[in-house]
Structure 1
Amino acid sequence: MAKIRIGQGIDFHQLTEGRAFWLGGVAVPHHKGALGHSDADVLLHAICDAMLGALGLGDIGVHFPDTDNAYKNIDSKILLERCAALIAGKGYQVVNVDSTLCLQAPKIKPYVPQMQEVIARILHITTADVSIKATTTEKLGFVGREEGVVALASVLLEQQD
Structure 2
Amino acid sequence: MVRFGMGYDVHRLVEGRKLILGGVDVPHTHGLLGHSDADVLLHAIKDALLGAAGLGDIGRHFPDSDDSYKGISSLLLLGRVKEIIGEHGYAVNNIDATIVAEKPKLAPFISEMNSNIAKVLGVEVSRVNVKATTTEGLGFAGQKEGIAAYAVASIK
Matching residue's letter, 1:139: G
Corresponding residue to 1:100 among 74, 84, 98: 98
Q: Secondary structure at the residue paired with 2:59? A: helix
Q: 2-side partners of 1:28 and 1:21: how far apart?
A: 5
1:41 deviation in Å? 0.1
Identity of counterpart residues, as a percentage?
A: 53
Q: 1-side partners of 2:69 and 2:79: how far apart?
A: 14
Counterpart of 1:61? 59
Q: Secondary structure at the residue paired with 1:97? A: strand
Aligned residues: 156
- Residue by residue over 1:135-157, the C-alpha shift from the partner in whole angstroms, topping out at 9 and shown as x without a partner, is 10100111011000000000010
1:5 deviation in Å? 0.6
Counterpart of 2:21? 23
Counterpart of 2:87? 89
Query: What RMSD in Å do the two structures reach over aligned CA positions?
Result: 0.5
- Residue by residue over 1:42-75, the C-alpha shift from the partner in whole angstroms, topping out at 9 and shown as x without a partner, is 0000000000001111100000000110100010
* Structure 2: gaps spanning 5 or more residues: none
1:42-53 alignment runs, 5 A limit: 42-53=40-51
Q: 1-side partners of 2:118 and 2:52: how far apart?
A: 18
Q: 2-side partners of 1:36 and 1:104: how far apart?
A: 19
Q: 1-side partners of 2:127 and 2:41: how far apart?
A: 15
Matching residue's letter, 1:36: G
Q: 2-side partners of 1:87 and 1:155: how far apart?
A: 12
Counterpart of 2:10? 12
Q: 1-side partners of 2:133 and 2:112: how far apart?
A: 18
Counterpart of 2:111? 113
